[in-house]
Amino acid sequence: MTLIVAWIGVDDKKTGKEVSSLYIASDSRYSIGQRDKFDYGIKVFGSSKYPEIFGFCGDVLFPSIVLGQIIPQIDSGILLNENDNCEQKTNKIFNFIKTSLENYPSSFLGGSFTILHGTRFEKIFKLFKISYFKNKGLNMEEIPLGNISTKTYSDGSGAKEFDENWSKIWDNHRHNDYRTSRAVYHCLTKTLDEIKDPYTGGLSQIIGLYRIKNSRLFGVVNNNNKYIYGKLSSEDINSESIEWRNENFERFDPDTLKIIEGAQRQPLQEATP
């Protein structure tokens, strides 16, 4: 099933509080039953040409196939137009998923699934959920983002453990990271370190949107090793082409494996009693 989480970062502006960033993160496990697993599965996706990010949980095959079709068509300028607002974009994506599902063999579906779509038009961020259940069919709804830095959505078989950690520790006004975007990532990494759900595992993977440019894939630094989509990056890769974060959500230099000079250190502490 997996664990998927979305959250926002909010800044104080002269005109009031404004969403400045939107993130979707997941674990990296694909599983068949409780014994067979693959901890390098891609569960978050982003467009390099448009401000669109995606993540999924539940059935693996259909969401990974359909998102693998959607992203290239977005990047090629086929599916979306630059003047489409958030609602127009997600409606086009929903209809693409709907027609694909109508032609998909029902025997291939392993169960229900949820696809998150994060998008931005001008300075407006929005998050939509497209869900399929056998008895309800395919449905879409908008997930309210609010105006504080916090978790906006969690789902999957690992969500129960995540939500328990979130409510007990990080969603507590006594915590140093209360109502910060980094608190959600702290909670995610702690949950994955201690997860009991056999269908959730591997390292985190993150995709994000800021006020400018398009999707941003983040590399993960864990125990002085670099990972992308849960896989150890031992190959000779161009590490500087993406942004890297450690378990505290601090910006890391991928060459020195040290916090970037000038980057704010983030405390990783639990709430006081």
Written as six digits, the tokens of 11 are 């800044």
Written as six digits, the tokens of 265 are 């250190």
Say if 20 falls within a structural domain: yes
Distance CA 71, CA 50 (A): 10
Average pLDDT of the chain, as a whole number: 91
Tell me: pLDDT of 255 over 90. no
Query: 106: which residues sit within 8 A by CB, 6+ positions away?
Result: none
Which pLDDT does position 261 carry in this prediction? 63
Which pLDDT does position 199 carry in this prediction? 94
Tell me: pLDDT of 170 over 70. yes
Which pLDDT does position 123 carry in this prediction? 92
Q: What is the CATH number of the domain that holds 101?
A: 3.60.20.10
Say if 225 falls within a structural domain: yes
Query: 252: which residues sit within 8 A by CB, 6+ positions away?
Result: 221, 244, 245, 246, 258, 259, 260
Distance CA 76, CA 55 (A): 20
One-letter amino acid identity for 195? I
- Residue the block writes with tokens 């440019």: 213
Residue 158 has phi, psi (to 5 degrees) of: -90, 0
One-letter amino acid identity for 235? E
For residue 228, the surrounding DSSP H or E stretch is: strand 225-228
Which pLDDT does position 264 carry in this prediction? 52
Which pLDDT does position 232 carry in this prediction? 94
Tallying the residues shown for the chain, one arrives at 273
Name 59's bridge partners.
none
Say if 271 falls within a structural domain: no
Which pLDDT does position 272 carry in this prediction? 40
Say if 265 falls within a structural domain: no
pLDDT (average), residues 250-273: 66
Q: Looking at per-residue confidence, does 267 or 46 come out higher?
A: 46
Domain region containing 202: 4-259
pLDDT by residue (tens digit) across 219-253? 999 988 999 999 998 767 888 889 999 988 989 99
Say if 266 falls within a structural domain: no
3 state DSSP class of 209: strand
pLDDT by residue (tens digit) across 29-63? 998 877 789 999 999 999 999 999 999 999 999 99
Contact at 8 Å (CB) between 175 and 165?
no
Residue 231 has phi, psi (to 5 degrees) of: -100, 135
Q: Please, what is the end-to-end C-alpha distance for the chain in angstroms?
A: 34
Distance CA 84, CA 82 (A): 6
Which pLDDT does position 229 carry in this prediction? 95
Domain tally, the chain: 1
Say if 273 falls within a structural domain: no
Core vs surface per residue 53-74: b (16+ CB within 10 A) or e: bbbbbbbbebbbebbeebbeeb
Which pLDDT does position 263 carry in this prediction? 52
Say if 267 falls within a structural domain: no
Residue 161 has phi, psi (to 5 degrees) of: -70, -40
Pairing mode, strands 216-222 and 243-245: parallel
Say if 231 falls within a structural domain: yes
pLDDT (average), residues 186-194: 95
